Structure 1
C-alpha cells in the first residue's frame, strides 16, 4: 500500500520538524541545521533555504499563509508568505517549544514547552493572551478537536489534559500510559482521540467522554507522530523504532509496515515526523537519519 517513491537529501543533521505548506506540493523541514528548508513534491526537488534560525527547530506549523517556527531556545518566528519575510519573533518560553497549534475561530496560536506551560497568542499582533501551567514537566504535544471546542495536551509525565477552548478551563485529565506522551491526534470526524507514547502504545479515547476503548502495542519504541489520511479511513504512525505503520482508522487493523527490515528500504534512525500530501497520494517521513522519504499510497 505504501511504496518508496523518492528520498530527499541535503540536511546535515537530524530533522525534527515537517509540515506541508498551504500551497499544494510544497513542504518544509527543519531540525538541527538552523535553517528552514523548502521542498517541492511536484518537482521532487530542493527549492531553497527559506530562512535561517538562531537555534534548532523542534516544530513547524502552517496556518493562514504563515509559517510558525518553534525553536529550542524557547522563541518562535512567524514567516509571512505574502510578504516573504519574518513578521514576528517572540521570546515565548524559557525552555524549548515542542508543540504548536491554532484555534481558528479565536484566531489564536498555542505553544507548548519544556517549561510545563502552554502560552496562547493573538494571531492579530502576536501578543500573549494567557499562559496555562499544565504540568511540572514538558508539555510535548497539542491536538485540537475537529470542531475546535477542545484541546488535548500530552505531557512527559504520561498524562493527557483536555481543555475547553472557549475559556481554557480544564475538562479532565487522562491517565493510562506508563511513559511520556509523544503524539496526539483527533479522528477527523471527532469520534476519538488517539495518543502515542514512549511506552510504544497507542491508546484510543472515545469521545465525548474520553473513555479508554482500546490499547494497541503498536511499536517497539516511542511513537513520535500520528497522522490521519485527508480523505480515506487510514492513519499512519512513525516511531523511534525506525518504522512507519499504516492502520485502519475504523477497526485499527494494521495494513502495512514500512521499514528497512520489511521492505529493504526505509529510515535507518528514529522517525520523528510524518505528513500526508494535500490529496493523500503520498506520505512524507523524516527523522534522525537526515533524510526526507516519500511513500506513494497505492
Structure 2
C-alpha cells in the first residue's frame, strides 16, 4: 500500500522536523542544518532555503499563513508567508523546544520543552499568557483534540497529561508506558487518543473514561511519529527501528511495512517525522539518514 516514489537529498545532517504548507504541494523540512528547506511535491524538486536558523530545529508547525520554527536553543521563530520574512523570534525556554501546536479558537500557540514546562503564547503579539509546569523532565510532544477542547502532553517519564484547553486545568494523567512518550495523536473523529513511546508500544486510550483499550507491540524501538490519513481510515507510524508502518485506524491491523529489510528501499537510520500530502495520495518521511522520502499510497 506504500510504494516508494522519490528521495530528496540535500540535507547535510539529520532531519527532525517536517510540516506541509497551507499551499498545496509544498512542504518544509529542517534539522541539524542551518536553514528551513522548502520542497515542491508537484515538481518533485527543491525550491529554496526558506529561512536561516541559529540552532538545530526540532519542530515545525504551520498555521494560518505562518510557519513556527522551534529550536534546540529554546527559542522559536515566526515566519510570515504574506510578508515573506521572519516577524518574531522569541526566547521561550531555557532548554530545547520539542513540541508546538495551536489552539485556533483561542488564538494561542503552545510550546513544550526539555525544561518540563509548556508555555502558551498569544498569536496576536506573541506575549506569554501562561506557563504550565507539567513535569520535572522533558515534555516531548503535544496533541490537540479535533474539537480543540483538550490537549495531551507526552512526557519523558512515560506519563501523558491531559488538560482542558479552555482554562488549562488538568483533566487526567495516564500512566501505562514504561518509557518516555515520543508521539501522540487524536483520531480525526475524536474516537480515541493514541500514544507511542520509546518502549516501542502503541497504546489506545478511550476518551470517555481514559482507559487503555488496546496495546500494540508496534515496533522494535521508539515510535517517533503517528499521523492519521486526512480522509481514509489509516494511520502511519515512524520509528527509530528505521521503518514506517501503515495501520488500519479502526481495527489496528498492520497493512504495510516500508523499510529496507521489507522493500529493499527505505531509511537507513531512524525515521523521525511523517506527513501526509494535502490530498492524502502521498506520505512524506524524514530521518537521521538526511533523506526526505516520498511514498505513494496505493489502494
**Structure 2 length as normaliser, TM-score?**
0.99
Name the residue aligned to 2:37. 37
Aligned pairs (5 A) from 1:147-226? 147-226=147-226
Q: Could you give the per-residue CA deviations for residues 226-279 of structure 1, whole angstroms, max 9, x where no partner exists?
A: 000000000000000000000000000000000000000000000000000000
Name the residue aligned to 2:59. 59
Provide the C-alpha distance between the structure 2 equivalents of 1:287 and 1:115, rounded to a whole number of angstroms.
Answer: 25
Provide the C-alpha distance between the structure 1 equivalents of 2:296 and 2:56, rounded to a whole number of angstroms.
Answer: 30
SS of the aligned residue for 2:176 comes to coil
Name the residue aligned to 1:268. 268
Name the residue aligned to 2:249. 249
How far did residue 209 of structure 1 move?
A: 1.8
Give the gaps of 5 or more residues in structure 2.
none
SS of the aligned residue for 2:49 comes to strand
SS of the aligned residue for 1:143 comes to strand
Aligned pairs (5 A) from 1:1-298? 1-298=1-298
How far did residue 208 of structure 1 move?
A: 2.1
Provide the C-alpha distance between the structure 2 equivalents of 1:293 and 1:217, rounded to a whole number of angstroms.
Answer: 25
SS of the aligned residue for 2:269 comes to coil
Q: Could you give the per-residue CA deviations for residues 149-195 of structure 1, whole angstroms, max 9, x where no partner exists?
A: 00000000000000000000000100000000000000000010000
SS of the aligned residue for 1:289 comes to coil
Provide the C-alpha distance between the structure 1 equivalents of 2:34 and 2:12, rounded to a whole number of angstroms.
Answer: 10
Provide the C-alpha distance between the structure 1 equivalents of 2:12 and 2:258, rounded to a whole number of angstroms.
Answer: 24
Provide the C-alpha distance between the structure 2 equivalents of 1:23 and 1:210, rounded to a whole number of angstroms.
Answer: 36
Q: Could you give the per-residue CA deviations for residues 108-152 of structure 1, whole angstroms, max 9, x where no partner exists?
A: 000000000000000000000000000000000000000000000
Provide the C-alpha distance between the structure 1 equivalents of 2:144 and 2:191, rounded to a whole number of angstroms.
Answer: 13
Runs in 1 of length 4+ with deviation above 2 angstroms?
none
SS of the aligned residue for 2:11 comes to coil
Give the gaps of 5 or more residues in structure 1.
none
Provide the C-alpha distance between the structure 1 equivalents of 2:196 and 2:20, rounded to a whole number of angstroms.
Answer: 22
Provide the C-alpha distance between the structure 2 equivalents of 1:209 and 1:34, rounded to a whole number of angstroms.
Answer: 45
Provide the C-alpha distance between the structure 2 equivalents of 1:67 and 1:220, rounded to a whole number of angstroms.
Answer: 33
Provide the C-alpha distance between the structure 2 equivalents of 1:265 and 1:86, rounded to a whole number of angstroms.
Answer: 37
Provide the C-alpha distance between the structure 1 equivalents of 2:151 and 2:210, rounded to a whole number of angstroms.
Answer: 12
Provide the C-alpha distance between the structure 2 equivalents of 1:211 and 1:158, rounded to a whole number of angstroms.
Answer: 16
Q: Could you give the per-residue CA deviations for residues 80-115 of structure 1, whole angstroms, max 9, x where no partner exists?
A: 000000010000000000000000000000000000
Provide the C-alpha distance between the structure 1 equivalents of 2:35 and 2:193, rounded to a whole number of angstroms.
Answer: 33
Number of equivalences: 298
CA RMSD of aligned residues (A): 0.3
Provide the C-alpha distance between the structure 1 equivalents of 2:34 and 2:272, rounded to a whole number of angstroms.
Answer: 17
**Structure 1 length as normaliser, TM-score?**
1.00
How far did residue 2 of structure 1 move?
A: 0.5
